[in-house]
């Protein structure tokens, strides 16, 4: 009896210990879902899995297929890779999956059994870890606050059923740390917050490339941009309707290269504050293929080669707001053909943008209101209602005005006087 009681206590202790560790966990959302691993190059991964909540552990070999027979069945995973899970594009390990599987728990349990480590131990550590896992419906936690070069590079590439990104708590970036992490995640609708103020070369490069369901970009608060930090960040994001503000005043080579290329739903560009034009190719191809883009506002005062092919394929008509001293030159490297050039000082005196991103501007006899929900009313200076419509947050409402003059635009959140 005493031996049986001792064994029961030991089993309960093992169960409690497993429950306390935040293991990487795969949960079946379809019957007979399965997972395994494959390797590239000279690597021998040390991974174990448990199907009984940590009571027993089995080595996961390359080519093994672990089946989760019932919906809700779980596998805990742990590893021993203190020097890094993967090491280069020629030496890495990645998961394979079938069926439908939700990941949870910490990916860091592949580094140490406890999964408590918050430091990525090597470059390329989780390189392509879930690449082409179309069965993955939920990403695991990525709790590390100290990153390594290219540590998450292409981690969820082509995970086409992933709808939500995991939290990314690190505030100090390193070289290409998030490069292509969500590339090709065509179901991703929600981007993670990116609070980092200290960026690094290529840190967000191609991060959301091809995320065609993404409608809103995360805030990008950094004011000093290293080379290629935002390169191709949102290229192919055809549902993106609102770009983030770009407050940076210190740019570097290629920092915005192709950033919004192909964002066909974008109607208004973020304001470019920089006045230093020495950053080679920093805006090249930035808005190429943004076929509905009709408003760009810049603060630079001279043209250089840093805007090559930057507005190829934008809307055929629009407004380009810039300092009066900027040369009036047109083409895909300058001001888009068919657009109207407006002096920045005049524009600032008649336009208003509030904290909710409600934008109001006039072009000839057309008045545009974007980014507000509810009733929009336009009055002349005699107080007469001349136009009205219902606004939607991500749509631009166009009013044809009865003539030139000064009008008052009222929305549910603001009242603006505007001249045309």
Rounded to whole angstroms, the Cα distance separating 15 from 397 reads 59
pLDDT digits 0-9 by tens, 50-96: 999 999 999 999 999 999 999 999 999 999 999 999 999 999 999 99
Query: Helix-strand-coil percent breakdown of the chain, rounded to 5?
Result: 10, 25, 65
Q: Extract the tokens encoding 379.
A: 């009055």
Assign domain 163-350 to a CATH class: alpha beta
Cα distances from 54 to residues 10, 23, 82, 242, 327, in angstroms, run 13, 9, 21, 46, 69
- Comparing C-alpha atoms, which of 145, 129, 119, 144 is closest to residue 87? 129
The residues that bridge with 367 in the sheet, in sequence order, are: 362, 399
Taking the domain 356-419, which CATH number applies? 2.60.40
Residues of the chain within CATH 3.80.10 domain(s) are 163-350
Angle in degrees, CA 388, 389, 391, rounded to 5: 135
Question: Tokens representing 50?
Answer: 């448990």
Contact 84, 54 (CB under 8 A): no
Q: Are 107 and 126 in contact (CB under 8 A)?
A: yes
Tokens of 281: 């190719």
pLDDT digit string, tens, across residues 203-220:
999 999 999 999 889 999
pLDDT per residue over 280-339, tens digit each? 889 999 999 999 999 999 988 888 888 999 999 999 988 999 999 999 999 999 999 999
Rounded to two decimals, the pTM is: 0.80
Q: Is 6 helix (H, G, I), strand (E, B) or coil?
A: helix
Residues in CB range of 305: below 8 A, 6 or more apart: 280, 281
C-alpha 241/C-alpha 217 separation (Å) is: 9
């Amino acid at each position: 009896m005493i031996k049986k009681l001792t064994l029961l206590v030991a089993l309960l202790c093992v169960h409690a210990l497993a429950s306390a560790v935040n293991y990487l966990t795969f949960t079946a959302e379809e019957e007979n879902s399965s997972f395994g691993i494959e390797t590239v190059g000279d690597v021998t991964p040390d991974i174990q899995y448990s199907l009984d909540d940590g009571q027993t552990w089995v080595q996961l070999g390359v080519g093994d297929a672990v089946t989760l027979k019932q919906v809700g069945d779980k596998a805990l995973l742990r590893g021993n890779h203190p020097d890094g899970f993967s090491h280069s594009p020629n030496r890495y390990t990645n998961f394979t999956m079938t069926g439908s599987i939700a990941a949870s728990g910490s990916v860091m349990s592949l580094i140490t059994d406890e999964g408590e480590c918050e430091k990525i131990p090597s470059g390329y550590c989780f390189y392509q870890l879930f690449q082409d896992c179309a069965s993955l419906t939920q990403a695991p936690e990525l709790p590390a606050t100290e990153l390594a070069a290219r540590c998450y590079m292409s981690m969820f590439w082509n995970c086409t059923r992933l709808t939500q990104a995991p939290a990314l708590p690190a505030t100090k970036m390193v070289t290409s740390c998030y490069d292509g992490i969500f590339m090709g995640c065509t179901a991703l609708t929600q981007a993670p917050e990116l609070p980092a103020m200290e960026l690094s070369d290529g840190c967000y490069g191609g991060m959301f490339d091809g995320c065609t369901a993404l409608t809103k970009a995360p805030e990008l608060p950094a004011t000093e941009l290293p080379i290629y930090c935002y390169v191709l960040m949102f290229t192919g994001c055809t549902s993106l309707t609102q770009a983030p503000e770009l407050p940076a005043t210190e740019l570097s080579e290629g920092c915005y290269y192709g950033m919004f290329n192909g964002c066909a739903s974008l109607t208004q560009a973020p304001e470019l504050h920089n006045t230093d034009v020495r950053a080679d190719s920093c805006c090249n191809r930035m808005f190429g293929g943004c076929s509905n883009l009709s408003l760009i506002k810049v603060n630079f005062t001279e043209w250089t080669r840093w805007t090559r092919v930057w507005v190829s394929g934008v809307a055929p008509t629009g407004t380009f707001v810039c300092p009066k001293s900027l040369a009036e030159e047109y083409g895909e490297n300058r001001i888009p053909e068919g657009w109207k050039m407006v002096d920045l000082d005049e524009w600032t005196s008649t336009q208003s943008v509030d904290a909710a991103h409600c934008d109001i501007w006039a072009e000839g006899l057309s008045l545009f209101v974007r980014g507000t929900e509810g009733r929009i009313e336009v009055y002349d200076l005699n107080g007469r209602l001349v136009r009205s419509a219902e606004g939607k947050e991500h749509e631009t409402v166009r009013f044809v005005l009865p003539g030139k003059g000064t009008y008052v635009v009222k929305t549910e959140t603001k009242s603006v006087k505007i001249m045309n």
